[in-house]
Amino acid sequence: MSHRLLAGLFAAGTLFSLPALAADYPTVDTSEVAVVNNADIIIELGGGVSVEPSYEGAKDYDVSGFPIFSLQYLNIPGLFTIGSPDESQGGLRIAPSLQFMDKRNAAKYEELTGTLPLDESYQVGLRVGYEFPLYDTLNAEVYGAARYAFNEGEGFVGEAGIDFISRPSEPWELKLGPRTTFADSDYMSTYFGITPLESLGSSGRLAAFQAGGGFKSVGVDASARYEFRPDWFLNANATYERLVGDAEESPIAKVGSRDQFFAGIGLSKRFSFDLF
């Protein structure tokens, strides 16, 4: 998996440096611009770098890249509307949910000696969330994502959670909330199971283990987004997850770590299009 602890410090340091940019660049209410221009679709595109566990249940970390893609607003006249031109108004949001799992090879990770190598795995699906107001400056979003993994670790995976969202001033958006991840038995057996042959190959250090489906982790996610120029954003995030269920009991996690940290920083731009 391409991967996320040092970045917690990196992201924190970045957040402290962002206000300095605010004095140099004015911001505009892009939601008003979208309405004036009769935008039918508003999307956000970008990318960034993250620090993540080298593989699920690992104690070591790697640096990798990740994409940013979200759909803020889609209006099909006479049919339906998703989201809002004004982000603070909340509503329904739908976006692709993508994840890439890198190769896992015992030749690279001594603690996995005896396990068979795993090829890359690709996960493709959707994320659906609904944001609603709680107080004047506090919203909440309930969300869920489901993906299908293919190539190596085939099966269904996903996550669900709640984000509490604060927008203390126009350029800033802060999120914090709990989350949980889950996976089916096919996926879990690939990444957390140990076959008798693999146990023998590890000289018994890794006990044979059959991993079943269910909850994979619980944790908390925090993120911050800052609009340093009109429609340009700096994004930072940090996540802590604790493996649970069969993922926690797996010999993979016992020789690695049940505690998983993720963090990253990225740059994105918002685009508005008048389609109709």
- 24 within domain boundaries: yes
- Report the percent of the chain where pLDDT is more than 90: 64
172 belongs to a structural domain:
yes
| CA nearest to 259, candidates 273, 242, 245 | 242
From 73-82, 127-136, 144-153, 157-166, the region with the lowest mean pLDDT: 73-82
**Residue 1 falls within a domain, yes or no?**
no
pLDDT one-digit tens code per residue, 175-186: 999 999 999 999
CA distance 50 to 84: 29
> Strands of 214-229's sheet, edge to edge?
80-83, 61-76, 41-53, 259-273, 232-243, 214-229, 172-183, 155-166, 138-150, 121-135, 91-101
**pLDDT digits 0-9 by tens, 49-84:** 999 999 999 999 999 888 888 887 888 887 878 777
Q: How many residues belong to the chain?
A: 276
Query: Which pLDDT value is given to residue 77?
Result: 81
CA distance 119 to 11: 30
pLDDT attached to residue 259: 98
Inside any domain, residue 225: yes
26-54 per-residue burial string, b: 16 or more CB within 10 A, e: under 16 = ebeebbeebeeeebbbbbbebebebbbbb
* Residue with more model confidence, 219 or 33: 219
- Are 23 and 230 a contacting pair, CB within 8 Å? no
Token readout for 172 is: 């800033």
User: What pLDDT is attached to residue 31?
Assistant: 41
Is residue 80 packed enough to be buried (19+ CB in 10 Å), middle (13-18) or exposed (0-12)? exposed
Q: Is 78 buried (19+), middle (13-18) or exposed (0-12) by CB count in 10 A?
A: exposed
Pick the more confident residue, 118 or 32.
118
At residue 125 the predicted structure's pLDDT band, cuts being 50, 70 and 90, is very high
Does any domain span residue 247? Answer: yes
| pLDDT per position as a tens digit, 6-54 | 333 333 333 333 333 333 434 444 444 434 357 788 889 999 999 999 9
With 90 as the cut, is the pLDDT of residue 234 above it? yes
What is the longest distance spanned by two Cα atoms in the chain?
A: 69
For 254, residues 6+ apart whose C-beta sits below 8 A from its C-beta are none
Confidence bin at 160 (pLDDT 50/70/90): very high
From 93-97, 141-145, 151-155, the region with the lowest mean pLDDT: 93-97
Residue 74, domain member (yes or no)? yes
User: Which CATH number belongs to the domain containing residue 266 in this structure?
Assistant: 2.40.128
Residue 46 lies in a domain: yes
Please report which confidence band the pLDDT of residue 224 belongs to, taking 50, 70 and 90 as the band edges.
very high
Domain coverage including residue 221 = 6-273
Q: How many domains would you assign to the chain?
A: 1
Q: 């004004």: which residue's tokens?
A: 86
Per-residue confidence (pLDDT) for residue 181, from 0 to 100: 97
Nearest CA among 233, 263, 204, 222 for reference residue 87: 233
Is residue 83 situated within a structural domain? yes
**In the prediction, which pLDDT does 24 show?**
41
Please give the pLDDT value at position 153.
81
Residue 258, pLDDT > 50, answer yes
